[in-house]
Amino acid sequence: MKAVAVLSSLAAIADAAATWKNARFGGGGGFVPSIVFHPTEPGVAYARTDIGGIYRLNDDDSWTPITDSLADTAHWGRWGPDALALDPQDADIIYSAVGMYTNDWDPNNGAIIKSTDRGETWTVTDLPFKVGGNMPGRGMGERLAVDPKNSDIVYFGARSGNGLWKSTDAGESFEKVDSFEAVGTYIPNPNDSSGYNSDKQGLAFVTFDSTSDTVDGATSRIFVGTADNITASVYVTEDAGATWEAVEGQPDQFFPHKCRLQPDEGALYLSYTDGSGPYDGSLGSVWRYDISSGEWTNITPVTGSDLNFGFGGLALDMQNPGTLVVASLNSWWPDAQIYRSTDSGATWSVLWQWGNYPELIYYYGISTEKAPWIRNDFLDVDSKWLGWMIESLEINPHDSDHFLYGTGLTIFGGHDLTNWDRTHNITIESLADGIEETAVLEIASAPGGSELLAAVGDISGFSFADAADLDTAPQNVWNSPKFTSTDGVDYAGNNPEKVVRVGKDGGAPMLALSSDGGFTWALHAGADSSASGGKVAYSADGDIIVWSTESGNVIRSQDEGSFSAISSLSSGAVIAADRSDNDYFYAGSSGTFYVSSNGGSAFSEAGSLSGVDSIRDIATHPTTAGTLYISTNTGVFTSTDHGATFTPLSTTLTNTHQISLGVGAGSTDFNIYAFGTGPNGARLYGSGNGGDSWTDIQGDGQTFGAIDGARLAGSGNVGGRVYVGVLSRLVK
């Protein structure tokens, strides 16, 4: 999932310099299925996220996004990397297979992207099928690999029954390997009509044996894993891919997730689970395969009733053959477990164990200084400290003390792993600084109030009091109550310390109020469990709430009373409150605009919008009552009389989506920002002259995925600054 992009302050829209950076949540916030270190070049490592693109590791443990330029509105799925590969012979080269979904949620086929300068620039090779970076099984892998003896040869294991593919021109083109017939037949749920769980999982990994001979300049021995659990799931070629056969004697009960070569031992290590991950897995195993003898050894570190999970992340210490770590994929209670062996899996030690029940004895300490909210609002209120969905667990091949592992919340790791063997105690830190991978569902900036309010999927949301705070990870998420996901947030224009938010969990009251800019909260007294999700509008004085719920009607509450349906508005209506006049609310449904002058009690049809059949968003002026801007399928309209009449703005911008106003160059000037189609295509535009003309302020180096889902907020306090929240990032 990504975070919030922030455009640095501009003197004027016409002089817009498209410089963007992350608002800092500091802790990741979403699933990191893979981390890859370069095998021969120290200091080179990358992480792939499921919907937030790829990040490069820096010397100070922080991360830099390197695929932000790839996910334009036509190719938003390119922020979904499903596989990652480095060229063992050239540390500057990185490949990734990208594409978000294999069902119809993503309209595009996937692609193989390649960089020869560590992610500064990319080339794209389109594939004739889809790739599933956010599909089940995305933690398997890596499905993509470069021949360690021939940089021109790249293999990719596809999903959906598409089999094994090969490039012989360093990724410029790919052809199917017809000699490899296995396709990975496992389907999690054949009855899933959405296609999300009813697609074949396909191939799981491609692993070259760098110790094998060469055939015609290529590595002769290659192992490929498939998502099968009945007979064979691991295949091998001894002739550089001309022929393939199932590896004899292999386990046939579970699905392989990771396959790692230890060249000094001449062995493979593999982790197995009874599901394809990343959410499932109640049984599993770990195996060692001696390549020369063909002997398989079950080295599963736990047995019997203690084995109630599968295994995902698996790492070998390349400085110390025979030393490895493996993680439970999903041990939901009381916590995940990580196991370490220094004798090739013959014996294991653990990171925690039971004392006198319910006491736990910990062999680690944990720190979240880079993202305090992880400790304050997750670790300290749950038993799961080590994490969940651990599909990637890595030991730096050049530093046996340096380890990293990805979870469903962050990247953990540290720099003292060998202390495990000496004192049986290590230090674990949250080390995802720079990986801003959260689904931002709504944002707002309150003039005279909190500079940024961010409603976030899976981790509730955040408040930033001042612009300077955007460079510091918050102490807390929105809590008391903490909604798993917050769908909408709004503030009272005349009293911006008053904030309202709505959650989308369901099954409990999903509306909370704050009187201090979103730092402390209380449940709305009139809310019940019948409504959730959607968007919310707060009256100018902060005493009336209009809520366009996802679960039903548009409803209204005054003075924290119970909610009642607004019969004059249809379900799903777009809503907004006048920022200065407490009596006025506005709404749009299809192409019809509605106004309420009695605090939202009733709405009536107002001014007509010629040629409009879809009202997408409504932005009300921060300081002038009755002035508003309407984003539609034909462009932007404005009204200065509470929506009684409308005037279309410049025809430069059409088919617009979210729209927002923010402080301009002067303290009383306001810029308009809108996502729409303009001279440079579908992207973000700004106007500093009331919409008479529009300037592309996005630039070429930053994309926001599908712009119809991006969130937008002009700063209420900093001239020329605008915030963009996407389904994977919040940038400024």
Strand order in 574-577's β-sheet?
Answer: 574-577, 585-589, 592-596, 604-605
Residue 303 is assigned to a structural domain of this protein: yes
Residue 509 is assigned to a structural domain of this protein: yes
For 346, counting Cβ atoms within 10 Å of its Cβ (0-12 exposed, 13-18 middle, 19+ buried), the class is exposed
Please tell me what DSSP assigns to residue 247: P
pLDDT, residue 563, reads 97
- Per-residue pLDDT tens for 452-477? 999 999 999 999 999 999 999 999 99
pLDDT, residue 417, reads 98
- Per-residue pLDDT tens for 323-338? 999 999 999 999 999 9
Distance (Å, rounded) from C-alpha 717 to C-alpha 701?
26
* Mean pLDDT of the region 279-304: 96
Please tell me what DSSP assigns to residue 436: B
Which is nearest to 280 in space by CA: 425, 439, 388? 388
Distance (Å, rounded) from C-alpha 721 to C-alpha 576?
22
Positive/negative CA dihedral, 228, 230, 236, 241: negative
The catalytically annotated residue of 50, 68, 87, 335 is: 50
Strand order in 544-548's β-sheet?
Answer: 535-538, 544-548, 554-558, 564-565
Question: Are residue 596 and residue 724 in the same domain, yes or no?
Answer: yes
Single-letter code of the amino acid located at 110: G
Q: Residue 17: pLDDT above 70?
A: no
Which is nearest to 452 in space by CA: 683, 721, 68, 726? 721
Residue with tokens 């999700």: 533
Beta strands (DSSP E) in 597-728 are: 604-605, 615-620, 628-632, 635-639, 647-648, 659-663, 670-678, 681-687, 695-696, 711-714, 722-725
Question: Are residue 656 and residue 524 in the same domain, yes or no?
Answer: yes
Q: Six-digit token pair at 661?
A: 């106003």
Question: pTM value?
Answer: 0.95
Strand-pairing partners, residue 25, are: none
- Per-residue pLDDT tens for 550-604? 988 999 999 999 999 999 999 999 999 999 999 999 999 999 999 999 999 999 9
Distances in Å between the Cα of 542 and the Cα atoms of 178, 271, 466, 545, 560 are 66, 55, 21, 8, 10
Question: Are residue 343 and residue 459 in the same domain, yes or no?
Answer: no
- Among 435, 461, 495, the domain boundary falls at 435
CB neighbour burial string for 430-441, b if at least 16 within 10 angstroms, e if fewer: bbbbbbbbbbbb
* Domains contained in the chain, number: 3
- Among 405, 435, 465, the domain boundary falls at 435
Predicted confidence band of residue 18 (pLDDT cuts 50, 70, 90): low
The size of the chain, in residues, is: 732
Local structure of 204: helix, strand or coil: strand
Is 50 annotated in the active site? yes
Q: Six-digit token pair at 339?
A: 């196991």
The catalytically annotated residue of 274, 421, 458, 583 is: 458
Residue 410 is assigned to a structural domain of this protein: yes
Question: Are residue 337 and residue 453 in the same domain, yes or no?
Answer: no
For 18, counting Cβ atoms within 10 Å of its Cβ (0-12 exposed, 13-18 middle, 19+ buried), the class is middle
End-to-end CA distance of the chain: 17
Residue 612 is assigned to a structural domain of this protein: yes
Residue 614 is assigned to a structural domain of this protein: yes
Question: Are residue 509 and residue 387 in the same domain, yes or no?
Answer: no
pLDDT, residue 603, reads 98
pLDDT, residue 10, reads 46
Give the chain's mean pLDDT. 94
Residue with tokens 């959730």: 532
- Per-residue pLDDT tens for 23-70? 888 887 889 999 999 999 999 999 999 999 999 999 999 999 999 999
Question: Are residue 317 and residue 369 in the same domain, yes or no?
Answer: yes
Residue 272 is assigned to a structural domain of this protein: yes
Question: Are residue 360 and residue 447 in the same domain, yes or no?
Answer: no
Distance (Å, rounded) from C-alpha 353 to C-alpha 220?
44
pLDDT, residue 3, reads 52
Residue 37 is assigned to a structural domain of this protein: no
Predicted confidence band of residue 441 (pLDDT cuts 50, 70, 90): very high
Residue with tokens 């540390």: 91
The separation between CA 636 and the C-alpha centre of its own chain, rounded to angstroms, equals: 31
Find the domain containing 229 and state its range: 66-247
Question: Are residue 505 and residue 482 in the same domain, yes or no?
Answer: yes
Question: Are residue 380 and residue 330 in the same domain, yes or no?
Answer: yes
Residue with tokens 């994929």: 329
- Per-residue pLDDT tens for 507-529? 899 999 999 999 999 999 999 99
- Per-residue pLDDT tens for 665-709? 776 689 999 999 999 999 999 999 999 999 999 988 899 999 999
Predicted confidence band of residue 276 (pLDDT cuts 50, 70, 90): very high
Distances in Å between the Cα of 28 and the Cα atoms of 32, 181, 558 are 8, 38, 38
Predicted confidence band of residue 650 (pLDDT cuts 50, 70, 90): confident
Question: Are residue 477 and residue 606 in the same domain, yes or no?
Answer: yes
Residue 61 is assigned to a structural domain of this protein: no
pLDDT, residue 297, reads 98
Which is nearest to 688 in space by CA: 7, 48, 15, 100? 15
Contact, 586 vs 659, CB < 8 A?
no
Local structure of 254: helix, strand or coil: coil
Q: Six-digit token pair at 6?
A: 């922030």
- Per-residue pLDDT tens for 342-388? 999 999 999 999 999 999 999 999 999 999 999 999 999 999 999 99
Contact, 79 vs 65, CB < 8 A?
no
* Mean pLDDT of the region 240-259: 97
Question: Are residue 203 and residue 273 in the same domain, yes or no?
Answer: no
pLDDT, residue 21, reads 83
Q: Residue 724: pLDDT above 80?
A: yes
- Residues contacting 169, CB < 8 A, separation 6+: 152
Q: Residue 88: pLDDT above 60?
A: yes
Residue 334's CATH number? 2.130.10.10
Q: Six-digit token pair at 60?
A: 């100070």
Distances in Å between the Cα of 150 and the Cα atoms of 88, 219, 235, 281, 472 are 9, 7, 21, 37, 44
Contact, 602 vs 637, CB < 8 A?
no
* Mean pLDDT of the region 164-184: 98
Strand-pairing partners, residue 246, are: 235
Local structure of 409: helix, strand or coil: coil
Distance (Å, rounded) from C-alpha 337 to C-alpha 385?
10
Strand-pairing partners, residue 146, are: 154
Distance (Å, rounded) from C-alpha 631 to C-alpha 634?
8
- Residues contacting 556, CB < 8 A, separation 6+: 544, 545, 546, 547, 563, 564, 565, 566, 600, 601
For 358, counting Cβ atoms within 10 Å of its Cβ (0-12 exposed, 13-18 middle, 19+ buried), the class is exposed
**CA-atom Rg of the chain in angstroms:** 27
Question: Are residue 685 and residue 588 in the same domain, yes or no?
Answer: yes
Is 90 annotated in the active site? no
Q: Residue 728: pLDDT above 80?
A: no
Predicted confidence band of residue 20 (pLDDT cuts 50, 70, 90): confident
Distance (Å, rounded) from C-alpha 463 to C-alpha 445?
10
* Mean pLDDT of the region 472-490: 96
Neighbours of 298 (CB within 10 A): 11
Could you tell me what percent of the chain has a pLDDT over 70? Answer: 96
Distance (Å, rounded) from C-alpha 538 to C-alpha 512?
12
Contact, 732 vs 470, CB < 8 A?
yes
